[in-house]
Structure 1
Amino acid sequence: MEQYEVFRSPQVTVYGRNAFSCVGRETALRGKKALIVSDKIMASLGYVEKCIEYLQLENVQSEVYTGVNSEPTDQYVEDSLSLLKDTKCDVIISLGGGSCIDTAKAIAVLGTNGGYIGDYMGGAKRVSISPIPHIAIPTTAGTGSEVTDATVITNTKNNEKMMIKQPQFMPAVAIVDPLLSLSSPKKVTAATGIDALSHAVEAYLSKKAHPMTDVFALSAIRLIVTNIKKAYEYPEDVAVREAMSIGSMYGGMSFSNASVCLVHGMSRPIGAIFHVPHGESNAMLLPAILEYSKESCKERLATIGRIFSKEAENMKVEEAADFAVEQIKNLCLDLKIPNLKDWGIEKDKFESAITKMASDALKSGSPSNNPRVPSQEEIENLYRICYDYQFSDAKVSTQVC
């Protein structure tokens, strides 16, 4: 029986300093009128206006939607889709963080296939018509959404984050310009950087990992662990921002093809119910879940540990695996990542949501890719552990869960 793997990425990827200037050319190749999906922060920084100028140079008209102001919801999708149809735009540009990009992915598909975005969850409805061309331009180094075929949209009726993945959600073009990430505040740099690291680590540990995803995942890990603290401490260092942007993109390519695991499965419900930004909730969960998973992926965790420092090169597998988790905890400390309690979630409200969150996590399918696949009860226990987890000294016993 033949065995093969698939690796998908955008048709075109433009990256490097001043790559943003290519948006007019790439748009003109695909349409005559663009809908720019962005947010008010990007508009205030002048990025939206600059995008319009680049489009005008290529005689491309544009309309603007800047209603995305939090994690993407079905309401943002509905509002921007309505504008897309009313203005007869034939190409979409997303400019901003993962929320803007995920919103644009949804309307690119719905613009030609119709329906409610939740219809496509779990493949219940398949995309049968090619989507409207989508050009994704990230302004943070974290989500990797510009190179993935998945979108995560919150259902505002039941507070469920819907993870929807089909090849047609992949943007046609990714434009990755590290200069756009210079405006990111330190807190955003930290959260999105750990988010990118989570993508790469989970892709490498995933049961669906294969040789091509391993190459991108390990490359991403090397770039991120070498540069993330520098980007946090010296935000104007363009070379560091460039390394983080490429690392984030590699992480996106790896997890889009190998899938994420338990961290993302548990993270999405936290974001949906308690509105914790996706990057931060991933960071809050990552060390504890690696400790939980360690016995089922020691060799691969050891490889990650050896990336962090030469001192781990001669360690035994068990030691190097522990070293990897220790270094990730140290990163969270250095980047001032809070736990769920310190972020401000009330314990009683968190406890009352645990059963639903664990159920939603399992429903997403991501936990089944984890090296150690958890039960509902184990996920509930992990949520409790993560609530007041201390990165400085916490250690999850494999007997607890």
Structure 2
Amino acid sequence: MNLPSISSNVRIVSFLVSVFTGAFFILTLPATSMGLLTAVNLPYAARWDNAEQRSKQTKSITQDMTKGYWHSRETRDKYCIRFGENENEHNWGITECFDKNAFEKKQTDVFQLTRQTGTLTLTGKLYQAEGDGTYEFVANEAFLTYLTEQGITSRDENFMFHLYLADMQKQYIAFLKTHYTQIEGNRLMELAIHEVSQKKYQEYIGLFEKYSGKKPSIQEVIEAKIHGIDQAYVEEIQANGYTGLDMKKMMEAKIHGVNADFINSLKQEGFTNLSMQEVLSAKIHGVDPSYIGQMRKLGFTNLTLEKLSEAKIHGVNASYIHDLETAGFSNLPINKLIEAKIHGVNADFISEAKSKGYNLGTIGDYISLKIHGMARNTGRE
């Protein structure tokens, strides 16, 4: 995708609906099975966001996005334009930044930008710090015919508008056709929405072929782009000893925030030669230096990372351990702590049991009591 006159760093789609009280919420449907959630009710200026926040919920819009209202804000060398259904910001919106000289002035307060996919016309005050007005996009029928000839179709009425914003060109389509017999229109639209340029796509092909031994599907490329997989991240993971991972595992690591800093933080705590699955488990369950240090201060100095993860999963932490200490149970082994937490044995339960006459000797007794129940009135099971 050639983008000579468009900045692709700050595009965002937000869908807002009124919910009973009149508050508005952004509706986000997953771009993939691992979708993204966009923040709610951000001020307008804060919504000039990164395109990674845009997912294929765009296709769920039933309104015609090819005409409506625009509102622009000037940056140093761009005009960032938010396109929306109406002047009210509490509706869907899609923002794109254009070079200041991108639009041709046709007449007073009428500006146009023509690309292979069609022509966008802005009516209103554009060349100022803030501007607004109305817009209309007219698709290029010749380009639409070309897509049909290539077997690329979509029922989405905003299909061509999204291709236009990404400046989709025949050159990119021809490139894709050399790699795929069939290209779904909706997949092409997702490439546009997520700003996967032709150059970037070629890089992803290289990454997948090198690390997974296969050419990626278009969906896999989209997912890699959404989750920020690139050569730099692959090299970062490899530099920390994980040289045999395929792209699927690297993508999983990236999704969960595994990076060099986290891997090194575990090494500094004495956990070396970990598999990526062990690192992932620690990251997913929040076993970080803070939690490890907390448990070691309580005397658990020789726990494996697996056992720490198990304890963290079940909520065994300093607060819970101190809670049991107030009930008279100190220096419990980690397995008993985990078992007690799983069954909901805490200071309150022990206090209640004692008030009913259950003055038991071990935490195991109280665990058994919790499992089997106690007679609340008689003080006996």
Which structure has the highest strand share of the two? 2
Whether TM-score is above 0.5 comes out as no
When normalised by structure 2's length, the TM-score is 0.22
Q: Which has the higher contact order (CA 8 A, sep 6+)?
A: 1
Which structure has the highest helix share of the two? 1
State the structure with more CA Rg.
2
